[in-house]
Structure 1
């Protein structure tokens, strides 16, 4: 199944995820997920990987970067459907919409790989469990966060750092942040090489975000981007980050946007600085499990 990109407010998942869901629906439980991912206000599909307006990243530049792959024997570049980031040796952070309805046995994760098709790079891991933010599960899509517990630790790789919950020191409007991923680079004629790409994007004020997205939740979201520089399909779940004093802090998770790189339509990210995002984990057993995995 292939779904063409649209200009609507949609999630930034690749068609590999949609294809996997459709195939799994034939054997049972994923049928509702496949249906949801084709809806106008849900996942936006594409067949490959890049960032809008970005540049290729060198091998080893982001050792904590992760790619979510549909289980299978094909080229990893064709099976990648979302990004993620290593936040501990056994946990990968991604967007909840990337894994809604997905079972651990249906996905695998590669960490530290720059060129998806180069199996010599990085470390490949199976997934032991998947836990999504309890508020996202209950229908509040602003809480677009999930954790993948890996079946075996990733060794010799430092995790990306997370901001202190409740602080906004890294979110100053106008500051430059970087988003990386294997998402689409061309909304007119899609182009999808399998080397990781990145682009610098300006952080925007909550007022600017609300002007484009009336349902934007400033308590748990942040937005960034400018015309021709943005995340796109296939970048969902990947990191928005800043480097400060030699340290890399992930400040956001790629969530949704209207089109890609369009004027007046920035990308929206789940804010990892949000105190409310983390405090509300205590509302359910699933949330408490997330806190346990994160040790926050």
Structure 2
């Protein structure tokens, strides 16, 4: 999420903007979103039409059904889903959607809903719409450590007939080798000059960037729980927050989600790759059990 310049962000979260727009701030007032869920770059303007999110830069439109595991987070309401979408997510298991903590911190479950398997936001005939029973924000993010940008949405009813994403083996880094290509998807901003929020899901292939290079761009970058990807002209942007960055492996079914869209300095700028919460981080998952809610979520994931 990329945040607005007026938001009171704690010092530990000022390094770069989360990938959500100022429109989310207005929506957040109604939803009860915390002030820390908005950031410092790519503020929305009147052209955003109240749209609370950001989009893929340098990508292409995706055909219906290509990414069934993709989720959209929506404000509860009766309006067009395209206007109510504020973040992305992914199906981690039939009853759990994974997203970024900054998307939902301070939000009540009854204030949002999620749809899994939809390609065109405004097409209500696509995908499975679910209410949210519980929001589990990573306990370290909740205590101010912004690098732990992970939240789990516990659904009231499981999603049927959709294969969840795969995660890397905890503690490994084989899938984030610098230079390897990964794919980012979302409904975020597509243009850094003239803001545009498409209705159809978009994707872009980006190179993974080394921890050393990312640390040079973001001094507070945490290599234990983050990864970087992107190149000038290709990146995630406002509205893509919480969505997946993933790889497809030859001979393996499904996708391996290596990260969750978190923050960045602008969008697709030279020397400013996107930062993602690394889903193969052992530290990320081990510390989730520091809260009772996190421990319950891990038990559900374990089976």
Asked whether the two chains share a fold, i.e. TM above 0.5, the reply is yes
Tell me the equivalent position of 1:21: 28
Q: Distance in 2 between matches of 1:181 and 1:40?
A: 20
Pairs within 5 Å for 1:1-296: 9-15=16-22, 17-24=24-31, 30=32, 33=34, 35-38=35-38, 40=40, 47=51, 49-245=54-250, 246-247=252-253, 248-295=255-302
The farther-off stretch of 70-79 and 244-253 is: 244-253
The farther-off stretch of 130-139 and 44-53 is: 44-53
Q: Distance in 1 between matches of 2:82 and 2:5?
A: 19
The structure-2 alpha-carbon separation of the partners of 1:220 and 1:183, relative to structure 1 and needing over 3 Å to count, comes to: same
Shift of 1:215: 0.2
SS in 2 for 1:170: helix
Shift of 1:163: 1.0
Shift of 1:281: 2.0
The answer to whether the Cα contact below 8 Å between 1:16 and 1:79 also exists between their aligned partners in 2 is no
Q: Distance in 2 between matches of 1:230 and 1:5?
A: 21
The answer to whether the Cα contact below 8 Å between 2:20 and 2:38 also exists between their aligned partners in 1 is no
The structure-2 alpha-carbon separation of the partners of 1:290 and 1:186, relative to structure 1 and needing over 3 Å to count, comes to: same
Shift of 1:18: 2.4
Q: Distance in 1 between matches of 2:5 and 2:123?
A: 27
Shift of 1:17: 3.3
Q: Distance in 2 between matches of 1:208 and 1:102?
A: 34
Q: Distance in 2 between matches of 1:169 and 1:11?
A: 27
Q: Distance in 1 between matches of 2:38 and 2:262?
A: 16
The answer to whether the Cα contact below 8 Å between 2:242 and 2:261 also exists between their aligned partners in 1 is yes
Q: Distance in 2 between matches of 1:269 and 1:243?
A: 18
Q: Distance in 1 between matches of 2:36 and 2:284?
A: 24
In structure 1, list runs of 5 or more residues that go unmatched. 25-29
Shift of 1:38: 4.6
SS in 1 for 2:106: coil
Q: Distance in 1 between matches of 2:107 and 2:284?
A: 22
Shift of 1:219: 0.3
SS in 1 for 2:175: coil
Give me the CA root mean square deviation: 2.1
In structure 2, list runs of 5 or more residues that go unmatched. 7-14
Shift of 1:5: 8.3
Residues matched between the structures, number: 286
The answer to whether the Cα contact below 8 Å between 1:14 and 1:183 also exists between their aligned partners in 2 is no
Q: Distance in 1 between matches of 2:222 and 2:54?
A: 28
Q: Distance in 1 between matches of 2:209 and 2:278?
A: 13
Q: Deviations over 1:240-294 (max 9, x none)?
A: 0000023310000000000000000000000000011111123221321231232
The structure-2 alpha-carbon separation of the partners of 1:220 and 1:177, relative to structure 1 and needing over 3 Å to count, comes to: same
Q: Distance in 2 between matches of 1:243 and 1:80?
A: 26
SS in 1 for 2:91: strand
